[in-house]
Amino acid sequence: MYKKSVCTQSRTFSVHVFMLFAFLVANNSIAQQASLTGNVLTLPVVAIADQAFRVELSIIDGTDPLQLEVLSGEELTGADTSGASTFDGVTLSIPAIAVGETIFWANFSLLSDNPVTFVLVAGGPVAELASDPPEASCQRPDPDLSNGPDNPTIVDGFSIELGKIFDGGPGPDGIAPLETPVFTQNFNVFSVAPGELVVGIKIGDEVRAYPHLILDYHEIVNDQFVIDGQNQRVTLSYCPLTGSAMLWQAFMEPVQTFGTSGFLYQSNLILYDRDTLSLWSQMLEQAIFGPRLLDIPEKLQVVETTWATWLQMYPETLLMTDATGFANPYGLYPYGSYKTDSSLLFQVDNAFDLRLHRKTRVLGINVGTASKVYPLDTFSGGVEVVNEKVGSMDVIAVGSASQNFAVVFNRELEDCTTLDFTAVQNRLPVVMVDNEGTEWDVFGNAVSGPRSGDSLQKTNSYIAYWFAWTAFFSNVEIQP
């Protein structure tokens, strides 16, 4: 599935929430004022879109901040909704709650829809309301959809400068993508040295590792995973010249696969899709030419690390083998000393930004106009976390120099709770625990604790060589 770079996103109400609110009761003259009796909060009128409901909620004992669970709801006919409580699918706003002789206002954010639970995010005596009322809902900064500009100038059908596209030599699919990768759990049949890098993918219960030593020769693997209960196509791309790996998702209809175009932009892989022959910049993560111009792929998380670390994280993993049907010398790196020296094979912008060695592997993130990199070798030997803000986004970067991995997620949740993390040592794939006591793995999934089953939001980030990151994003800041 693909999205346009400029799109309007809409929020649909949870079916569970709507069903619990959809019942009938009579209205009365003081309908707008909520009341608290014991631990039951009664909202005589709640306006939801063009409907009105009477709702009862129970205070959950021992919660801080305060949490409420819906007990019952009944639909109203002909209710006066002026000044009533409102629910927009995210925030329940209560303008007046009678508690003894004091009237309070409160905003609650939807925390769960099964059971329907809300958490207090703001409130106080009505007399203390500021001249500007509180916002009806929180606003969490979302990741950019792509790394490309929002409104690029289109010249000759291209969203990038045509003069900066280079012919890499082999031609379309001259570097042959893999269409039917073969995997094994018999690591004696196909062995990878412990220090060799792999691109690791975990989707549901499916765990796979794609060795660099094979990706160096093929750059693209068109594969399939079960996603949301459906068997769906994915494309893993790896550009050996920029050291960058991406995983893009496509639905089965139409079947979407990619090939290598043979062209490069900023020394980085340009893919083409076999449906429309549009060209796609890997590091911009956007179509740069053709019928899909400016379209953006659906992106999935990868973890790039050594085979030894990945195997420690996921001993049940499948490993992509060298049974590719091609007679490539997979144990021999095809670019000589390129990974470690300062040479470049193609011209790039900002090539003389030498704040880091050109081939330093960095985890980079873009948030709006802000760009930042975390050099992998500057993380501590054990697992280290960095709680900070990049642009408008609160992020958590977690990595290890000795175990050779780094990832970064949005640490602000959908309910606008911002978590603080500390590192967890020697328990891979668990890498951190938050201030609420939830433990999280390297893919940003909560594996135990109060938020078990939740996931941190993926950011617009990936690992690449330093020269490539600064070629694409010249205003980049380096994490000290």
Last residue of a domain, one of 320, 338, 369: 320
The sign of the dihedral angle between the CA atoms of 418, 462, 143, 226 is negative
- DSSP E strand boundaries for 174-267: 183-184, 197-203, 206-211, 220-227, 230-239, 244-250, 258-265
Of all residues in the chain, the percent with pLDDT exceeding 70 is 90
Give pLDDT, residue 287.
94
- 34 lies in some domain: yes
Cβ contacts of residue 447 below 8 Å, gap of 6+?
430, 439, 440, 441
Specify whether 310 is located in the same domain as 181: yes
Q: Is residue 17 very low, low, confident or very high in pLDDT (cuts 50, 70, 90)?
A: very low
pLDDT band at 376 (very low <50, low <70, confident <90, very high): very high
Q: What is the CATH number of the domain that holds 392?
A: 2.102.10
Is residue 397 within 8 A of residue 374, CB to CB? The reply is: yes
pTM, two decimal places: 0.73
Q: Are residue 173 and residue 253 in the same domain, yes or no?
A: yes
Does one domain contain both 119 and 223?
Answer: no
Report whether pLDDT(434) > 90.
Answer: yes
Q: Do 390 and 453 belong to one domain?
A: yes
246 pLDDT band, cuts 50/70/90, is very high
State whether 267 and 371 are in the same domain.
no
Q: Is the pLDDT of residue 304 over 50?
A: yes
Number of structural domains found in the chain: 3
Report pLDDT digits (tens) over 319-364. Answer: 999 999 999 999 899 999 999 999 999 999 999 999 999 999 999 9
Same domain, 170 and 122: no
Look at residue 260 and tell me if it is in a domain: yes
113 belongs to a structural domain:
yes
Same domain, 168 and 306: yes
* DSSP string across 148-169: S-SSPPPBTTBSS-GGGEEE-S
Q: Is 415 among the domain residues?
A: yes
Whether 270 and 284 have beta carbons less than 8 Å apart is answered as: no
Ranking 78-92, 218-232, 273-287, 397-411 by mean pLDDT, the lowest is: 78-92
Is residue 340 domain-resident?
Answer: no
Mean residue pLDDT of the chain comes to 88
Start-to-end Cα distance in the chain = 38
Q: What percent of the chain has pLDDT over 90?
A: 66
Least confident span in 8-17, 274-283, 349-358, 452-461: 8-17
Q: What is the per-residue pLDDT across 260-274, written as a single tens digit (0 to 9) for each?
A: 999 999 999 999 999
Residues 99 and 176 in one domain: no
Q: Are 193 and 294 within one domain?
A: yes
Instruction: Establish if 6 belongs to a structural domain.
Output: no
Pairwise pLDDT comparison (114 vs 366), residue with the higher score: 366
Q: Is residue 436 part of a domain?
A: yes
Q: What is the pLDDT of residue 32?
A: 62
297 and 171 in one domain? yes
Indicate whether 124 and 219 sit together in one domain: no
Do the domain assignments include residue 149?
Answer: no
Which domain covers residue 305, as residue numbers? 162-320
Q: Are both 315 and 374 inside the same structural domain? A: no
